[in-house]
């Protein structure tokens, strides 16, 4: 494919409490540890692609406050091209509250804020310059910005001949036209919402419904890929989970980086799963996303 990665999506200020266990409804669990980090599916995926070595452009909408400016500075430090970052004065940046229990399970609540203010007018006129000047080789999308913006981005990619990777998350409503992308990535819960089954068999169903390549992630069960070449189950890398936040986003970003670099989808997915394994061994969203050298090292120990 060649070129870089362009990500259109969400950005959140993440406020996380690490707990010995997740509370029941109405229960207070003490002895937590507070962690402030940056998140949002779009931002996480952009950071993951950049740290994996891909020139990456991030197109998003944010507010204009001190914490947001600190977050944007972190993106710049990771090398993201922010030429099309839309700043909305007077609008809150998206925010997420995350509770994480022992073993990495979590509860999440999100206030979308400026993410819902990202419009088709904020998109670049062409993807030729997206991806830190290299031109986009892959466009990455999720479902945390307005549907009209997502559809406009897909149309932009189609006109440019750029493959689309859609992480259909969250999967609150089924839009059949969005399933017909080049690469569709969902987890078990999202797969169940889209096609009625939340296991690896969903990959083949989603491929038949239009996805050029459908990938269903299964947590510790690995991932299943279905495309014109058939089905493949890849086992997960062994890891002691600390926090599963951003694991799926890390997989999507590193997968996109691999595809943009010209890797076959199966090899790109293997790299992406290695990155996700490293991610779940750490706390936080973007604080947990690994860099290329770490991914390479893990793959060397698990050929």
User: End-to-end alpha-carbon separation of the chain, Å?
Assistant: 25
Catalytic residue among 14, 78, 182, 249: 249
> Within 10 Å of residue 121's Cβ, how many Cβ atoms?
8
**Active site includes 177?**
no
Residue 40 and residue 9 in contact, taking contact as beta carbons nearer than 8 Å: yes
Tokens of 196: 């009625």
Q: Could you list the active site residues?
A: 249
């Amino acid at each position: 494919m060649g070129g870089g990665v362009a990500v259109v999506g969400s950005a959140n200020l993440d406020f996380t409490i690490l707990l010995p266990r997740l509370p029941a409804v109405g229960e207070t669990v003490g002895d937590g540890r507070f962690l402030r980090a940056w998140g949002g599916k779009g931002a996480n995926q952009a950071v993951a692609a950049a740290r994996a070595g891909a020139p990456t452009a991030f197109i998003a909408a944010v507010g204009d406050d001190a914490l947001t400016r600190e977050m944007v500075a972190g993106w710049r430090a990771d090398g993201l091209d922010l030429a099309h970052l839309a700043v909305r004065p007077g609008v809150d940046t998206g925010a997420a509250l995350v509770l994480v229990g022992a073993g990495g399970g979590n509860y999440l609540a999100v206030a979308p804020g400026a993410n819902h203010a990202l419009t088709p007018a904020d998109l670049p006129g062409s993807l030729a310059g997206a991806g830190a000047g290299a031109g986009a080789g892959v466009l990455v999308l999720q479902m945390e910005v307005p549907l009209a913006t997502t559809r406009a981005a897909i149309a932009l990619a189609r006109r440019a001949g750029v493959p689309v990777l859609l992480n259909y998350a969250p999967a609150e409503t089924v839009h059949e036209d969005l399933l017909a992308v080049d690469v569709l990535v969902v987890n078990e819960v999202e797969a169940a919402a889209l096609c009625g089954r939340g296991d690896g068999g969903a990959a083949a169903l989603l491929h038949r419904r239009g996805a050029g390549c459908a990938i269903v992630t299964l947590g510790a069960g690995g991932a299943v890929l279905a495309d014109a070449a058939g089905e493949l189950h890849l086992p997960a890398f062994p890891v002691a989970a600390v926090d599963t936040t951003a694991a799926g986003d890390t997989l999507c970003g590193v997968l996109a980086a691999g595809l943009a670099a010209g890797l076959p989808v199966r090899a790109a997915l293997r790299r992406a799963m290695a990155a996700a394994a490293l991610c779940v061994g750490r706390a936080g969203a973007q604080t947990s996303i690994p860099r290329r050298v770490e991914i390479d090292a893990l793959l060397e120990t698990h050929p």
